[in-house]
Each structure stands twice: as C-alpha cells, then as structure tokens.
Structure 1
Amino acid sequence: MIIVFPTTKDEGLGAKRGAHFGKANYYTVITVEDSVVKDVAIHKNPGHVTGACSDAVNNIQSLGADVLIVGGIGGEPLKKFLAIGIDVYFDDKNEILEDSLRAFLAGNVAKINPNHTCSHK
C-alpha cells in the first residue's frame, strides 16, 4: 500500500503535515507492507492552479497513491480522488507524519466523510 502525506518540509517520518494537500511543499510517500514501513520517499510538490485542484489530484495519483491522509479537503478534489480509486482519510489530530501513520495503521483514522469537506470562497 502506498500512503501519501502532504508535508511542509523534507523531513521523512518526522515531517510536519501540510494543512492544504494541494499547496503542501512536499508529498511524503510511505510504502507499507503488512503494517511495516518498507520505504519513505519525499517528492517536491510541482504545484497546481486553482479550480478543484485537478493538478494536485493528478500529482498525487502519479505517485502511485492508494491512500491520501489529509487534515481537510474540498468536495471537488475528494470526488476526483474517489473516482480514480484513491481513498482519502481525515486526521486533524496528529501534526507529525509518524504519529498520523501509526494512528492510521492502528485503524484509528477514518475515511473522510464527504459532509465534512471544506469549501473555498
């Protein structure tokens, strides 16, 4: 399973998670097999233009993501992730990637409820 976390810095598992998935400085990509971390890779976010975050969705898809863990997401990009088979989970409790990953692997991070998406005005 490949899990993508938007992060603010290139700091591996110790990175602080980025608040906005499309504007995060980096995507930290964790490969997990049988609940064991097999690889950690950091990719600079190539950026995106506004408008339902299509570029950001494509950027994350290109990393081979099965799962995206965010602290918030808009309704349109959520629909796009779900349409291409990327599960989106919501974690607004763990600021550090490693803590969020542990919570996810323990089953303590839920899939995001579409009724709890943020909107951009």
Structure 2
Amino acid sequence: MIIVFPTTKDDGLSAKRGAHFGRATFYTVVKVEDGIVKDVSVHKNPGHVTGACQNAVSNIQSLGADVLIVGGIGGEPLKKFLALGIDVYFDDKNEILEDSLRAFLAGNVAKIDPNHTCSSHK
C-alpha cells in the first residue's frame, strides 16, 4: 500500500503534516507491506497554479497513491480522488507524520466523511 501525506518539510517520518494537501511543500510517500514500513520517499510538490486542485489530484495520483491522509480537503478534489480509487482519510489530531501513520495502521483514522469537506474547495 502506498500512503501519501502532504508535508511542510523534507523530514521523512518526522515531517510536520501540511494543512492543505494541494499547497503542501512536499508529499511524503510511505510504502507499507503487512503493516511494516518498507520505504519512505519525499517529493517536492510541483504545485497547482493552473488547473486548481485537479493538478494536485494528478500530482498525488502520479506518486502511485492508494491512500491520502489529510487534515482537510474540498468536496470536488475528494470526489476526484475517490473516482481514481484513492481512499482519503481524515486526521486532524496528529501533527507529525509518524504519529498519523501509527494511528492509521492501528485503524484509528477514519475515511473522510464527504459532509465534512472544506467549504473553500467545493
């Protein structure tokens, strides 16, 4: 499973998670097999100046994401991720990627409820 986290710095598992998935400076990609971290890579976000969040969706899709863990997301980008088969989970409790990953692997992070998306990205 490939899990993508929007992050603010290139700090691997110690990175602080980014608040806005499309504008995060980096995407930290964690490959997990049988609950064990097999690989961690960090990719600079190429941005989404044009194309709004559609470019951000494409950027994350290009990383091979199976799962995206965010602290918030708009309704339209959420629909696009789900249409691509990328599950989106909501974690607004864990600021550090490693803590969020542990919570996710323990089953303590839920899929985002479409009724709780950011209103700024309808």
> What is the match of residue 68 of structure 2?
68
Contact preservation (8 Å) 1:47, 1:56: yes
> What is the match of residue 47 of structure 1?
47
- Looking at structure 1, the residues matched to 92 and 59 of structure 2 have their Cα atoms a distance apart, in angstroms, of 22
TM-superposed CA distance for 1:49, in Å, is 2.7
Gaps of at least 5 residues in structure 1 are: none
> What is the match of residue 19 of structure 1?
19
Q: What secondary structure does 1:94 align onto?
A: coil
Give the aligned residue type for 1:81.
F
Distance 1:110 1:50, change over 3 A: farther
Contact preservation (8 Å) 1:12, 1:42: yes
TM-superposed CA distance for 1:120, in Å, is 1.2
- The percentage of counterpart residues that share the same residue type is 85
Alignment partner of 1:93 is 2:90: no
Give the aligned residue type for 2:6.
P
Distance 1:10 1:60, change over 3 A: same
TM-superposed CA distance for 1:52, in Å, is 5.1
- Looking at structure 2, the residues matched to 93 and 65 of structure 1 have their Cα atoms a distance apart, in angstroms, of 22
Q: What secondary structure does 1:92 align onto?
A: coil
Q: Deviations over 1:24-61 (max 9, x none)?
A: 00000000000000000000000003665000000000
Contact preservation (8 Å) 1:8, 1:15: yes
TM-score (norm 1): 0.97
Give the aligned residue type for 1:99.
D
What is the aligned-residue RMSD (CA, Å)? 1.1
Question: How many residues of Structure 1 are paired with residues of Structure 2 in the alignment?
Answer: 121
Give the aligned residue type for 2:66.
D
Larger displacement relative to structure 2 (32-41 or 47-56): 47-56
TM-score (norm 2): 0.96
Runs of 4+ that moved beyond 2 A: 49-52
Q: Deviations over 1:43-93 (max 9, x none)?
A: 000000366500000000000000000000000000000000000000000
